Structure 1
Amino acid sequence: MTIPNSHLGSSSTSRKRTSYKAMNPQLRKSNSNVSVPPQDQPKLINEVRKAIEKHKSIEKIKHRLGDEYTRFCSDESISRYLRARNWNIKKAEKMLEASLVWRMNYKPEEIRWEHVAAEAETGKIYRSSFMDKHGRTVLVMRPRCQNSKSTRAQIKYLVYCMENAILNLPPEQEQMVWLIDFHGFGMSNISIKSTKETAHILQDHYPERLGLAILYDPPKFFEPFWKVVKPFLEPKTANKVKFLYADDANTKNLMESLFYMDKLESAFGGKNEAKFDVKIYAERMKEDDAKRLALHKGASSSGTTSGRASTVSLDFSIANTDSDSDGEKKTSPEINEEAILAEAQKIAAADGGGRGGRIEV
């Protein structure tokens, strides 16, 4: 939302824009969750849209993205970017610009099952056949099933899973749940690089899509790894991460409040004994690929997809920097992976293999 500075005069063209928080001193704390009255939100959304439309490269963006541009500049999409940036217009605009450029270069809507099938075959990430009680798509993750050393391939599969999860959200829902199964997790499964890339993709290009991430039965030796990873996460994202343990009395009650137990997998305390079957899953994904293709048919039929260059050079000044929940630039912590692994090994040895204890968060 923008307001005029009275000393600049009455001309709207000379008025200086400011953020919603600047109008409300009590909301200036960068990591606070800003609440904007519903009646004010359309104006803020339109401010972001108008700012994007004024960029001199916008016609190139529209041509490259086709229908994708319309979808990402919808009221619902812009609202997510504004919420991620605590309704700060300038920061939401910059964040959205970065996502539009990323989608032009990365082309996530063009990723198909055959492009990621090798990554998917162990069931390390898949969309569950059930939703939670809020109608949110559930992505199941099993770090122990990692079958690739390529961070690029891992991230490509993650993007595919995110796009598929969003495709399957009901109209009234825009967030998903991650269920992360740590059974069988070992120190060989620890990868700070891929985790940091995952956080970057999730936070910068899928804002407000994660509703909850449940880390189920993480070993005690995961603690030093979490301490290093947490600074990469925006506070809003970190607050959505919950550590649950099967032998904790409160865990069952929480899971029952979130999921239908007859549908929830037994690995998470549910009654569903079904196992991941890549052949069955492949058919589901191919059907969804056909749906996505139909969704983007407008862009394809207009020739925008086939006409895309492999790289796009635009005059945006957008840096890939870590940010807090309000988009303020901050410095990434120094990482000493050897020290982290040494500390994890020490905890594992003292903890009888690292399967006991709790991670304090």
Structure 2
Amino acid sequence: MALLRVIPTITLSLPYHGIASKPKTFPFSKFSVRNSNLQMQLQPHESRKLVVEVKEKLEKEHHSLPVGKNGRDDEDMILWFLKDRKFSVQDAVSKLAKAIKWRQDFRVSELTEDMVKDVAQTGKAVVHDFLDINGRPVVLVVGSKHFPKDPKQDERLCTFLVEEALSKLPPGEEQILAIIDLRGFGTQNADIRYLTFLFDIFYYYYPKRLAQILFVDAPFVFMPFWQLVKPLLKSYTSLVRFCSADTVRKEYFTEETLPSNFRD
């Protein structure tokens, strides 16, 4: 590919996953992409050219899609999806078109706190008031408070919280942390549809935005459920960490920022 220059001696990478990973965001900055066994680098003007190419293709092939923030002409969003698709223009166009159409159909931009207040009042999921020790916004899910009842409402709450968490990203941070507290989890709380939706939106519509998923103090009854869900998670399986509440206390928060349900 003419736009890519092979670097023979310098090895750079953009870590997206892992608790210690803290990628930085600089619009149209120089960054590297691993493709097979080659290490390649895009110059700012080259990444800019690809963004323009994607934007033109979206306008030509998907002109009915909305424009503006998170629309087909949103250059920050286009660049993010290009990075996710290893700078393949066609792959980025395809994934972007699907993501933008979903946002339009799901009416993501219209979601408000008032629209999800009834299901939010259950306390089953919230965005934590503080960042974790690595500077990431935190979505906290309490499994024992989830009772499958209204899938659409649960999906709206899930999407609203993801949007809220992303809005709290500090400068230089790109990913959020998900903590699923499984203490007290029972078969009545199992919901394959909801968990599948959660992972689907991160895979298709918010790619590379999820840094890690903590399953905290998973009981024995959760494991058969996990074996059913695990094949559906695609590459996100590698982001899952089973850990204890004590690990959450010691490795992810300070005494001041620890969520209240993890305090002794």
Pairwise TM-score range, normalised by the shorter structure: 0.7 to 0.9
How do 1:237-248 and structure 2 match up within 5 A?
Answer: 237-246=236-245
Give the equivalent residue in structure 2 for 1:81.
Answer: 81
- Tell me if 1:69 matches 2:71: yes
Distance 1:25 1:70, change over 3 A: closer
CA RMSD of aligned residues (A): 2.7
Q: Could you tell me how far 1:211 is from its partner in structure 2?
A: 1.0
Q: Could you tell me how far 1:177 is from its partner in structure 2?
A: 0.7
Please list the CA deviations of residues 36-84 of structure 1 after superposition, one character each: whole Å capped at 9, or x if unmatched: 53x44762464254133234255432xx34333278431xx33432343
Q: RCO greater where, 1 or 2, for CA within 8 Å and sep 6 or more?
A: 1
Distance 1:141 1:60, change over 3 A: same
Q: Could you tell me how far 1:150 is from its partner in structure 2?
A: 1.7
Give the equivalent residue in structure 2 for 1:121.
Answer: 121
C-alpha distance in 2 between matches for 1:54 and 1:67: 18
Asked if structure 2 preserves the Cα contact closer than 8 Å seen for 1:124 and 1:146, the reply is yes
Please list the CA deviations of residues 291-347 of structure 1 after superposition, one character each: whole Å capped at 9, or x if unmatched: xxxxxxxxxxxxxxxxxxxxxxxxxxxxxxxxxxxxxxxxxxxxxxxxxxxxxxxxx
TM-score (norm: length of structure 2) = 0.78
Give the equivalent residue in structure 2 for 1:47.
Answer: 50
Indicate the structure with greater strand content: 2
Give the equivalent residue in structure 1 for 2:155.
Answer: 155
Asked if structure 2 preserves the Cα contact closer than 8 Å seen for 1:216 and 1:245, the reply is yes
Distance 1:101 1:256, change over 3 A: same
Give the equivalent residue in structure 2 for 1:261.
Answer: 255
How do 1:1-361 and structure 2 match up within 5 A?
Answer: 25-26=36-37, 36-37=40-41, 39-40=42-43, 43-44=46-47, 46-55=49-58, 56-61=60-65, 64-69=66-71, 72-74=74-76, 77-235=77-235, 237-246=236-245, 252=247, 255-265=249-259, 267-268=261-262, 270=263
What code does the residue aligned with 1:245 have?
Answer: S
Asked if structure 1 preserves the Cα contact closer than 8 Å seen for 2:68 and 2:74, the reply is no
C-alpha distance in 1 between matches for 2:44 and 2:148: 43
Unpaired segments ≥5 residues, structure 1:
5-19, 28-34, 272-361
Asked if structure 2 preserves the Cα contact closer than 8 Å seen for 1:45 and 1:78, the reply is no
Asked if structure 2 preserves the Cα contact closer than 8 Å seen for 1:44 and 1:89, the reply is no
What code does the residue aligned with 2:225 have?
Answer: F
SS of residue in 2 equivalent to 1:131: coil
The runs of at least 4 aligned residues of structure 1 exceeding 6 Å deviation read: none
C-alpha distance in 2 between matches for 1:183 and 1:70: 42
What code does the residue aligned with 1:68 have?
Answer: N
Q: Count residues with an aligned counterpart.
A: 235
SS of residue in 1 equivalent to 2:227: helix
What code does the residue aligned with 2:237 have?
Answer: A
| Greater Rg by CA | 1
Asked if structure 2 preserves the Cα contact closer than 8 Å seen for 1:137 and 1:177, the reply is yes
C-alpha distance in 1 between matches for 2:226 and 2:75: 35
Q: Could you tell me how far 1:209 is from its partner in structure 2?
A: 0.9
Distance 1:217 1:233, change over 3 A: same
Percentage of identical aligned residues: 27
C-alpha distance in 1 between matches for 2:256 and 2:203: 32
Unpaired segments ≥5 residues, structure 2:
5-32
C-alpha distance in 2 between matches for 1:46 and 1:134: 33
C-alpha distance in 2 between matches for 1:164 and 1:112: 10
What code does the residue aligned with 1:69 have?
Answer: G
C-alpha distance in 2 between matches for 1:123 and 1:88: 41
C-alpha distance in 2 between matches for 1:117 and 1:65: 29
C-alpha distance in 1 between matches for 2:163 and 2:73: 13
Please list the CA deviations of residues 141-174 of structure 1 after superposition, one character each: whole Å capped at 9, or x if unmatched: 0121125512121111101111111111112212
C-alpha distance in 2 between matches for 1:144 and 1:71: 42
